[in-house]
Amino acid sequence: MSKTVQDILNELPPDKYRELLGVKSANPLNEAFEKRRPDHPSAGGSMILPPLHQKTWQNQMNAQGSVQHKKAAYIHIPFCEKLCIYCGFFQNFSNEDRETMYVDRLIKQLEMAKEYRYVQESLIHSVFFGGGTPSTLSPYNADRLLKAVNECLPLANDCEITMEARVHDLVDEKLQTWFARGVNRISVGVQSFDTQIRQCLGRVDPKEVVIENLQRAASYNQAVIIVDLIYGLPYQTVEKFVDDLKIIDDLPIDGMDLYQLNVFEKSLLKKSLDTGKLPPVATSAEQAEYLKTAAEFLEEANYKRLSVCHWAKSNRERSLYNTLAKTDADVIPFGSGAGGFVGDISVYMQRDLKKYMDSIDKGKVPIMFMLRAPELASLYKDIQDQTESCGVNLTKLAKKYNKELMQLETVLDIWTEHGLFTKKGHMYRMTIAGQYWQKNITQSLIEITKKFLNAKTSINEWLTEKTMNTFKKKIEN
């Protein structure tokens, strides 16, 4: 007889049980788990060795595409004009000559991709320019890159094209270049409107300029404007944070993203905190308070919750790229340091600029590493997609994969008792405490599901016939 989810939980050593399930507490917002998981939840996968990279990618990209299957493209611009002190992803400083050489290679990579059967046969529903700072590109480079994207990728009529931008770059010449080439969404890294906080982070513009530039971008009425904020920063208080939320509410923008501050080990922020140059950042309990404040403020102001960290203010905001990237869609990566996945293959492009450019010059795809996703990766993605939307609907998972997944109720009932969910029928909604611990919940749910499936003798017998056929097709392709 195969093991039940309850058997799996019973077999966990006490430490592991506490790590995965957390503890019951009168204050779940602060104490449901010992510590917050900082990383993105992952289901793992098996490494593909470098000699097989090119062949594996060619096979994958020349397989028959499916128009039913949603696709997105991610284009990475690894340059920043300034180094933000909290950054854990910085690659290169901006330099016009270097950027021009890089954009030459990026265009070549897009032209190489144009020849793939997979690209030719399918529509791209979303293109995301991320970084680094994509808005740092000069109008000349942005124009020819956007032109190449339009010419090489089969963009759907309603394709969402997002440009990640720094406030400083929201000037007429750049905005007009982006809009003329189809950019219809701008995601602006504001982090905080407070001038003192901004300057300690390495952000140059004071509050008045930030507001003025956002108003300018919105005045064109050509793109959805999204603002990113961070909570837990040095010098930040809940009062200052609420002032930021009020400014957002007054501005003619379409939505906001809210992120928790992570102090990366090698960041300048860590150094400044260790030497006492900056006042301490928020504790975990204080961070939870910020999230609670924002969730309540935005609910009262009638914002629509699109995911655990994203709110829409107007109905123009779709946040399509984020939705696609976290569900079953494919993301084709372009550029130095770009990551993506096509079918069951995850790929990460060369982060080193020189290696990236040399590889393109040799006509090779600049792959740094490659992973094959585990069996049933789509189930783990579905779990993540649900928790990202602040809920879990087991009936949906059971219908798609196997009714035995209803046994995960055992886990969700424990979390409901811990104050992380409320339950209505088979639908579980996260409380604010659940939202704060969302990464822990997602990773735990994936790990427990994996343990449950690993105890099965055959996954094939376990899947519903419909899912099995889709799964087989993916493998055949």
What is the spatial distance between Cα 360 and Cα 306, in angstroms, rounded to a whole number? 38
Shortest Å, Cβ 60 to ligand SF4: 29
Q: Where along the sequence are the contacts to ligand SF4 (CB under 6 A)?
A: 80, 83-84, 87, 89-90, 131-133
**H or E stretch at 228:** strand 224-231
Shortest Å, Cβ 82 to ligand SF4: 7
What is the spatial distance between Cα 156 and Cα 125, in angstroms, rounded to a whole number? 5
Residue 89 or 140 with smaller CB distance to ligand SF4? 89
Counting Cβ atoms within 10 Å, is residue 312 exposed (0-12), middle (13-18) or buried (19+)? buried
Residue 133 or 387 with smaller CB distance to ligand SF4? 133
Amino acid letter, 185:
R
Distances (CA, A) of 445 to 68, 259, 300, 411: 28, 22, 31, 8
Residue found by looking up tokens 């931008």 in the block: 165
Alpha-carbon 151 to chain mean position: 26
Number of neighbours of residue 172 by Cβ within 10 angstroms: 10
Shortest Å, Cβ 84 to ligand SF4: 3
Q: Assess contact for 359 and 366: CB atoms under 8 A.
A: yes
- Helix axes of 139-152 and 96-114: crossing angle, nearest 10 degrees: 0
Residue 84 or 376 with smaller CB distance to ligand SF4? 84
Residue 130 or 434 with smaller CB distance to ligand SF4? 130
Residue 52 or 83 with smaller CB distance to ligand SF4? 83
Number of neighbours of residue 315 by Cβ within 10 angstroms: 8
- Helix axes of 96-114 and 353-361: crossing angle, nearest 10 degrees: 40
Shortest Å, Cβ 395 to ligand SF4: 40
